[in-house]
């Protein structure tokens, strides 16, 4: 079938020596299994895949070992059967020479395959299923960039694809991998083209673009189409288009322009202009993935260069160390100037020959020193303009060079640096041998880095501002709380002052007695809720005190145990009387104060109080008061508080009559301890506030401690 | 009306001009209120140029306060993390000559660094968390802390407060993603030893020699 397609021309371009004959002398070969396979998890464009095997696992050929991480990623498969011996950072073919995570497999030599799911008729399958098969097979563009094929074959619904281009141009010197593939696998390529056509809803045009320096490939393809057309009329649609050899017509944008005359706009994909362009080897891999269920584990690679004894194309497993490949082809280290992955125009020098063959390795070039000498030093730009003449993207390489030197990134972007395909035509023609492409690559890298940094700076700014806002909010909340607390404290102080005013009338005793006690009193009194209760209590106290006084005033009567009244006893009685008197006076005063401080109090109430004074004395309280007054001589406790405490204790004891003595004591100790604790707290507070009663507080504490010790000692004695 | 203008040309002219000025004054006044710009746009633009490390090396508590200070007349060469590039950008924006970096505030380092906490030495005091201006340190009291590398600006502020000195500033490692091509070496210094290689025939001769 003759070409009915008009062939367009692209701007620029160069004609470097082709050097394609060397590797086409021998048929497609194979090499034995290497002792070890190093399979990087990132052999494509996009996110690296994630290892799904462990060290020590046995794997089969075609088994998934790295799962795609997201849509824009590609699966990785074991290239042969064997054992995973390491998952570590290994040298990979990358211009930086940086190591990356790889799975190292020790082959068992059997090359046993996983179970393959074959599919005789792809048209019976849903398009999405076919895409899934291609995605699962880990197919990435084999032309050199490694774009995930499943992503490429799923254009947006707005992109109407009318042309499918199979890129068999292979314009770069030395490389013949696609040429060889088209010669030996033409039938598979035609089948693959039909498969892709089916997936893309049968575009109008199915074109296989081949440069006219590959007559054998063109003939093979035409034959394959003819034989396929017998069984499948769709194959008649496929046209093989040969066009004049010119570098870089194999670039995706360039071959689209050559075959359709359409130019891909800056910043757009070819799908935006209705064209999908796939490398011929990728189409074959996709076909094998669907037809035979074979994941992509090998590729055709050109092994070429004068430093090798054998120059040919081989079908090589991914992960085969390049050093092993070179060894199999009689690599002479001393003759080689360097080893390049890719062609002489766009390839890069390998820094570590142990790096493996990966999906994008279309050529391994081991040139001799004469064949590809080290680039001569760059001279000054003479502004000849040859670079602009050959630029296939119609850029201004010279301007870009100046701006890249000056690191003027704004102007670089304004001159569409990112439309540069880095083909190297400008460097090739430069009479001053300026490594122009390296300038552009560096500038592109800097711009990308700056963009990332800008993004990061924006995020930092956001985080910083958020943090400032958060701190301000926290401060505001704290301030509000502090104000609230201050207000509450003031209120409490006011209350305390009121209380103090009512208590300040306490007689001498209260001042000589430690303040702890008065505080206790305050506490006790605060427990009493209603004023009535308070009053009754005070009245009771007065009564009790009276009774005590009477009791103590009784003349001492000699009894059986104490037949003689000693002087000591007399003195004691005197003291007791005095104490009782004092207490009575105090209690009365308190009552009077209390009545005085209750302005709402009905004056008539006074009478019943008087009456109550006479009658309402319960025996319990009397007992309490008695003990209280007795205690006064021993401790300097406020009798009132002590009395109340004791009365309470007694009540408690009465409530639980079966409590043992020890338990009571334990309770006592507990109570004392808690009081001691409280007293200490108060002391601390007093110290903080510089209270004049610090001494008193301290005394109170020592007293409490003494008592506690006493009781504990007595327990100790009892038990001991 | 026309009679009035004809009879009192000066007065009518004055009236017309006065009326016009009153009308435009009203429009301008309205516009000033209606289209008032919130905040200082210049501060925002300066802030956008600063590296946002929030390191405080300029003597201000963050990049935005420094941006504000620049608007108020402070020197633009006090930002060591930004280096000369930031100074040039600021000079460009403010239309002033670009000074060199004031090294009193620190030296520019081309290598980006991030904080790294030696985790087995961390006592969980949270002091570094409080110091971090971008909340890039994760941890809690008495729990080990760690740095979120992606959020760390390398500002250094967490190093000093650490009571056990377990924070290091380590250079950010280059990986496949962050690696970029370097500019050709010849960009930096001119090569003089190539004089013998100046013209193409020279070059051809040398390669022939080698071949022979």
Give percent of chain B with pLDDT exceeding 70: 87
In the block, tokens 């059967």 appear at: A81
Q: How many CB pairs under 8 A join A and B?
A: 99
Q: Does B165 touch chain A (CB under 8 A)?
A: no
Supply A309's token pair. Answer: 């004894």
Could you tell me the pLDDT band of residue A632, with boundaries at 50, 70 and 90?
A: very low
pLDDT at A720: 43
Residue in B62, B193, B198 closest to A464 by CB: B62
Average pLDDT over residues A435-454: 92
CATH T-level fold of B41-105? 3-methyladenine DNA Glycosylase II; Chain A, domain 3 (1.10.15)
Taking an 8 Å cut-off on Cβ atoms, the answer to whether B54 and A460 are in contact is yes
Judgement on whether residues A416 and A445 belong to the same structural domain of the protein: yes
Average pLDDT over residues A400-426: 92
What's the CA gap between A715 and A602, in Å, rounded?
52
Buried/exposed code over A158-181 (b: 16+ C-beta within 10 A; e: otherwise): eeebebbbbbbbbbbbbbbbbbbb
Judgement on whether residues A147 and A74 belong to the same structural domain of the protein: yes
Answer whether residue A652 is part of any domain. Answer: no
Q: Are A356 and A321 in contact (CB under 8 A)?
A: yes
Average pLDDT over residues A564-571: 66
Mutate to test the interface with B, among A72, A371, A457, A465 (most CBs of B within 10 A): A457
Q: Using CA coordinates, name the residue in chain A closest to B179.
A: A96
pLDDT tens column, A43-88? 988 899 999 999 999 999 999 999 999 889 999 999 999 999 999 9
Nearest to A341, CA basis, from A323, A315, A328: A323
What's the CA gap between A434 and B191, in Å, rounded?
12
Per the document, the length of chain B is 212
Could you tell me the pLDDT band of residue A678, with boundaries at 50, 70 and 90?
A: confident
Which of A287-296, B14-23, B31-40 is predicted with the least confidence, judged by mean pLDDT?
B31-40
Cα A527–Cα A528–Cα A533 angle in degrees, nearest 5: 165
Judgement on whether residues A156 and A302 belong to the same structural domain of the protein: yes
Answer whether residue A645 is part of any domain. Answer: no
Q: Does A439 touch chain B (CB under 8 A)?
A: yes
pLDDT: is A527 or A336 the higher one?
A336
Greatest mean pLDDT among A172-176, A613-617, A647-651: A172-176
Residues of A with Cβ-Cβ distance to B181 under 8 angstroms: 95, 438, 441-442, 444-445
pLDDT at A660: 58
Distance from CA of B151 to the nearest CA of A (A): 7
Q: Is A314 helix (H, G, I), strand (E, B) or coil?
A: strand
pLDDT at A536: 79
Q: Does B175 touch chain A (CB under 8 A)?
A: yes
Q: Does A160 touch chain B (CB under 8 A)?
A: no
pLDDT tens column, A299-324? 999 999 999 999 999 999 999 999 99
Distance from CA of A438 to the nearest CA of B (A): 6
pLDDT at A691: 56
Considering the four listed CATH numbers 3.30.70.20, 3.40.50.2300, 3.40.50.1820, 3.30.70.1290, the one that applies to the domain covering B113-171 is 3.30.70.20
Q: Using CA coordinates, name the residue in chain A closest to B202.
A: A376
pLDDT at A639: 45
Give percent of chain A with pLDDT exceeding 90: 57
Judgement on whether residues A347 and A399 belong to the same structural domain of the protein: no
What's the CA gap between A98 and B58, in Å, rounded?
36
Judgement on whether residues A314 and A404 belong to the same structural domain of the protein: no
What's the CA gap between A162 and A206, in Å, rounded?
9
Distance from CA of A378 to the nearest CA of B (A): 7
Residues of A with Cβ-Cβ distance to B187 under 8 angstroms: 405, 439
pLDDT at A692: 55
Q: Does A467 touch chain B (CB under 8 A)?
A: yes
Nearest to A207, CA basis, from A223, A190, A220, A219: A190
Which of A372-381, A658-667, B7-16, B109-118 is predicted with the least confidence, judged by mean pLDDT?
A658-667
Q: Does A574 touch chain B (CB under 8 A)?
A: no
Answer whether residue A235 is part of any domain. Answer: yes
Judgement on whether residues A155 and A230 belong to the same structural domain of the protein: yes
* CB-side neighbour CA atoms (13 Å) of A98: 13
What's the CA gap between A178 and A696, in Å, rounded?
103
Which of A504, A538, A571 is a domain's end point? A504
Distance from CA of B177 to the nearest CA of A (A): 10
Q: Does A351 touch chain B (CB under 8 A)?
A: no
Answer whether residue A648 is part of any domain. Answer: no
Taking an 8 Å cut-off on Cβ atoms, the answer to whether A376 and B203 are in contact is yes
Taking an 8 Å cut-off on Cβ atoms, the answer to whether B184 and A438 are in contact is yes
Judgement on whether residues A615 and A680 belong to the same structural domain of the protein: no
pLDDT tens column, A18-32? 999 999 999 999 999
pLDDT at B194: 47
Could you tell me the pLDDT band of residue A516, with boundaries at 50, 70 and 90?
A: low
What's the CA gap between A568 and A571, in Å, rounded?
5
**β-bridge pairing A205-211 and A163-168:** parallel
Mutate to test the interface with A, among B113, B181, B204 (most CBs of A within 10 A): B181
Residues of B with Cβ-Cβ distance to A377 under 8 angstroms: 186, 191, 193-194, 197
CATH 3.30.70.20 residue window(s) in chain B? 113-171
Taking an 8 Å cut-off on Cβ atoms, the answer to whether B153 and A377 are in contact is no
Which of A312, A333, A365 is a domain's end point? A365
Answer whether residue A402 is part of any domain. Answer: yes
Average pLDDT in chain A: 83
Whole-angstrom CA distances from B204 to A377, A381, A434, B196, B197 are 14, 20, 17, 12, 9
Taking an 8 Å cut-off on Cβ atoms, the answer to whether A378 and B191 are in contact is yes
Per the document, the length of chain A is 720
Residue in A377, A439, A444 closest to B197 by CB: A377
Which of A455, A471, A504 is a domain's end point? A504
Taking an 8 Å cut-off on Cβ atoms, the answer to whether A439 and B150 are in contact is no
Residue in A438, A460, A467 closest to B52 by CB: A460
Taking an 8 Å cut-off on Cβ atoms, the answer to whether B207 and A373 are in contact is yes
Judgement on whether residues A613 and A561 belong to the same structural domain of the protein: yes
Average pLDDT over residues A638-663: 51
Distance from CA of A407 to the nearest CA of B (A): 10
Average pLDDT over residues A535-553: 77
Distance from CA of B188 to the nearest CA of A (A): 9
Q: Does B154 touch chain A (CB under 8 A)?
A: no
Distance from CA of B121 to the nearest CA of A (A): 27
pLDDT: is A714 or B52 the higher one?
B52
Domain that holds residue A683: 658-720
Taking an 8 Å cut-off on Cβ atoms, the answer to whether B47 and A461 are in contact is yes
pLDDT tens column, B122-171? 888 999 999 999 999 999 998 889 999 888 988 888 988 988 889 989 99
Nearest to A33, CA basis, from A81, A77, A66, A76: A81
Taking an 8 Å cut-off on Cβ atoms, the answer to whether B184 and A435 are in contact is yes
Judgement on whether residues A345 and A209 belong to the same structural domain of the protein: yes
pLDDT at A695: 65
Judgement on whether residues A141 and A212 belong to the same structural domain of the protein: yes
Taking an 8 Å cut-off on Cβ atoms, the answer to whether A449 and B180 are in contact is yes
Radius of gyration of chain A from its Cα atoms, rounded to whole angstroms: 51
Write out chain B in H/E/C secondary structure.
CHHHHHHCHHHHHHHHHHHHHHHHHHHHHHHHHHCCCCCCHHHHHHHHHCCCCCCCCCCCCCHHHHHHHHHCCCCCCCCCCCHHHHHHHHHHHHCCCCCCCCHHHCCCCCCCEEEEECCCCCCCCCHHHHHCCCCCEECCCCCCCEECHHHCCCCCCCCCCCCCCCEEEEECCCCCCCCCCCCCHHHCCCCCCCHHHCCHHHHHHHHHHHHC
| A28: DSSP letter | -
pLDDT at A716: 62
Residues of A with Cβ-Cβ distance to B183 under 8 angstroms: 404-405, 438-439, 442-443
pLDDT at A525: 53
Q: Using CA coordinates, name the residue in chain B closest to A405.
A: B187
Taking an 8 Å cut-off on Cβ atoms, the answer to whether B180 and A379 are in contact is no
pLDDT: is A717 or A256 the higher one?
A256
In the block, tokens 């360097």 appear at: A338
pLDDT at A367: 93
Residue by residue, DSSP assigns A561-588 as S--S--HHHHHHHHHHHHHHHHHHHHHH
Average pLDDT over residues A162-170: 94
pLDDT tens column, A658-671? 445 666 677 777 77
> Which residues, at least 6 apart from A268, have a Cβ–Cβ distance to it below 8 Å?
none
Whole-angstrom CA distances from A573 to A509, A545, A553, A642 are 20, 15, 8, 21
Nearest to B89, CA basis, from B41, B47, B40, B57: B47
Give the count of beta carbons closer than 10 Å to the beta carbon of residue B110. Answer: 5
Residues of B with Cβ-Cβ distance to A446 under 8 angstroms: 180
Residues of A with Cβ-Cβ distance to B51 under 8 angstroms: 453, 457
Distance from CA of A398 to the nearest CA of B (A): 15
Residue in B151, B191, B200 closest to A463 by CB: B151
pLDDT tens column, A447-479? 998 898 899 999 999 999 999 999 999 999 999
Taking an 8 Å cut-off on Cβ atoms, the answer to whether A461 and B150 are in contact is no
Q: Using CA coordinates, name the residue in chain B closest to A468.
A: B133
Taking an 8 Å cut-off on Cβ atoms, the answer to whether A442 and B175 are in contact is no
Give the count of beta carbons closer than 10 Å to the beta carbon of residue B155. Answer: 26
Whole-angstrom CA distances from A203 to A200, A286, A581, A645 are 7, 18, 120, 102
Q: Is the backbone of residue A330 left (phi > 0), alpha (psi -120 to 50) or beta?
A: left
Helix (H) / strand (E) containing A416: none
Taking an 8 Å cut-off on Cβ atoms, the answer to whether A378 and B174 are in contact is no
Taking an 8 Å cut-off on Cβ atoms, the answer to whether B181 and A445 are in contact is yes
pLDDT at A702: 75
pLDDT at A715: 65
In the block, tokens 């290497």 appear at: A34
Q: Using CA coordinates, name the residue in chain A closest to B209.
A: A370
> What is the count of structural domains for chain A?
4
Q: Does A563 touch chain B (CB under 8 A)?
A: no
Distance from CA of A153 to the nearest CA of B (A): 26
Judgement on whether residues A361 and A409 belong to the same structural domain of the protein: no
Average pLDDT over residues A236-258: 93
Judgement on whether residues A481 and A566 belong to the same structural domain of the protein: no
Taking an 8 Å cut-off on Cβ atoms, the answer to whether A465 and B64 are in contact is yes
What's the CA gap between A142 and A132, in Å, rounded?
19
What's the CA gap between A1 and B198, in Å, rounded?
53
């Amino acid at each position: 079938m003759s070409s009915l397609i008009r062939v367009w021309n692209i701007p620029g371009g160069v004609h470097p020596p082709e050097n394609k004959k060397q590797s086409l002398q021998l048929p497609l070969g194979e090499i034995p299994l290497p002792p070890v396979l190093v399979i990087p998890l990132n052999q494509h464009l996009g996110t690296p895949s994630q290892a799904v095997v462990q060290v020590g696992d046995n794997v089969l050929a075609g088994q998934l070992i790295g799962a795609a991480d997201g849509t824009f990623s590609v699966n990785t498969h074991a290239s042969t059967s064997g054992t995973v011996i390491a998952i570590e950072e290994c040298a990979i073919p990358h211009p930086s020479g940086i190591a990356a995570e790889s799975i190292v497999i020790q082959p068992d030599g059997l090359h046993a395959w996983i179970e393959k799911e074959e599919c005789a008729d792809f048209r019976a399958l849903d398009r999405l299923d076919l895409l899934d098969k291609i995605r699962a097979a880990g197919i990435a563009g084999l032309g050199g960039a490694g774009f995930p094929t499943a992503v490429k074959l799923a254009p947006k619904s707005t992109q109407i694809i009318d042309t499918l281009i199979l890129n068999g141009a292979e314009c770069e010197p030395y490389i013949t991998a696609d040429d060889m593939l088209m010669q030996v696998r033409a039938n598979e390529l035609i089948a693959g083209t039909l498969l892709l056509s089916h997936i893309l809803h049968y575009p109008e045009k199915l074109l296989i673009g081949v440069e006219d320096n590959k007559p054998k490939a063109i003939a093979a393809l035409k034959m394959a189409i003819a034989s396929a057309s017998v069984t499948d009329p769709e194959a008649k649609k496929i046209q093989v288009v040969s066009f004049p050899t010119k570098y870089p017509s194999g670039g995706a944008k360039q071959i689209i322009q050559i075959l359709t005359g359409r130019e891909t706009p800056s910043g757009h994909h070819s799908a935006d202009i209705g064209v999908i362009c796939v490398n011929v080897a990728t189409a074959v891999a996709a076909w094998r993935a669907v037809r035979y269920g074979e994941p992509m584990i090998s590729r055709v690679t050109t092994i070429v260069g004068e430093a090798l004894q054998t120059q040919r194309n081989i079908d090589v497993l991914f992960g085969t160390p390049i050093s092993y490949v070179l060894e199999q082809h009689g690599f002479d280290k001393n003759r080689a100037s360097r080893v390049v992955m890719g062609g002489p125009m766009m390839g890069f020098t390998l820094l570590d020959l142990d790096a493996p063959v990966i999906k994008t390795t279309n050529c391994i070039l081991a040139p001799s020193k004469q064949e590809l000498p080290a680039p001569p030093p760059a001279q000054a730009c003479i502004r000849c303009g040859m670079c602009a003449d050959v630029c296939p993207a119609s850029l201004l390489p010279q301007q870009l060079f100046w701006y890249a030197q000056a690191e003027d990134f704004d102007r670089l972007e304004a001159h569409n640096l990112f439309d540069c395909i880095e083909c190297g035509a400008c460097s090739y023609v430069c009479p001053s041998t300026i490594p122009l492409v390296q300038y552009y690559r560096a500038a592109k890298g800097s711009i990308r880095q700056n963009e990332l940094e800008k993004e990061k700076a924006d995020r930092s700014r956001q985080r910083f501002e958020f943090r400032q806002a958060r701190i301000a909010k926290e401060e505001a909340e704290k301030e509000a709380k502090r104000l609230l607390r201050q207000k509450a404290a003031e209120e409490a102080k006011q209350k305390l002052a009121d209380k103090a005013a009512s208590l300040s009338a306490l007689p001498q005793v209260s001042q000589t007695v430690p303040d702890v006690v008065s505080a206790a009193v305050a506490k006790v009194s605060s427990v009493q809720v209603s004023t009535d209760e308070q009053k009754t209590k005070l009245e009771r106290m007065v009564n009790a005190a009276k009774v005590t006084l009477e009791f103590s005033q009784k003349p001492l009567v000699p009894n059986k145990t104490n037949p003689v009244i000693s002087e000591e006893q007399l003195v004691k009685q005197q003291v007791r009387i005095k104490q009782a008197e004092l207490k009575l006076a105090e209690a009365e005063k308190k009552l009077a104060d209390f009545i005085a401080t209750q302005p709402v109090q009905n004056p008539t109430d006074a009478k019943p109080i008087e009456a109550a004074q006479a009658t309402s004395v319960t025996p319990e309280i009397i007992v309490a008061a008695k003990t209280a007054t007795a205690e006064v001589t021993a401790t300097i406790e406020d009798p009132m508080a002590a009395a109340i405490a004791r009365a309470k204790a007694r009540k408690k004891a009465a409530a639980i009559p079966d409590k043992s003595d020890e338990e009571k004591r334990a309770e006592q100790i507990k109570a004392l301890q808690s009081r001691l604790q409280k007293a200490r707290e108060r002391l601390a507070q007093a110290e903080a506030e510089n209270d004049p009663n610090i001494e008193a507080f301290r005394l109170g504490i020592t007293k409490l401690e003494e008592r506690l010790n006493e009781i504990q000692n007595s327990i100790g004695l009892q038990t001991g | 009306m026309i009679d009035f203008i004809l009879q009192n040309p000066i007065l009518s002219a004055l009236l017309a001009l006065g009326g016009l000025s009153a009308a435009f004054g009203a429009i301008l006044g309205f516009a000033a209120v209606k289209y008032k710009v919130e905040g200082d746009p210049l501060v925002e633009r300066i802030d956008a140029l600063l590296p946002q490390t929030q390191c405080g090396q300029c003597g201000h508590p963050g990049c935005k306060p420094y941006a504000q200070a620049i608007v108020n007349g402070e020197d633009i060469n006090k930002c060591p993390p930004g280096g000369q590039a930031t100074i040039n950008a600021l000079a460009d924006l403010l239309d002033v000559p670009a000074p060199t970096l004031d090294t009193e505030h620190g030296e520019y380092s081309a290598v980006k660094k991030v904080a790294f906490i030696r985790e087995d030495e961390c006592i969980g005091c949270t002091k570094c968390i409080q110091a971090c201006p971008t909340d890039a340190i994760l941890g809690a009291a008495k729990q080990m802390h760690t740095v979120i590398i992606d959020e760390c600006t390398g500002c250094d502020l967490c190093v000093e407060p650490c009571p056990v000195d377990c924070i290091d500033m380590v250079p950010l490692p280059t990986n496949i993603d962050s690696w970029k091509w370097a500019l050709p070496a010849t960009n930096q210094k001119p090569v003089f030893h190539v004089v013998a290689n100046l013209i193409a025939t020279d070059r051809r001769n040398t390669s022939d020699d080698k071949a022979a």
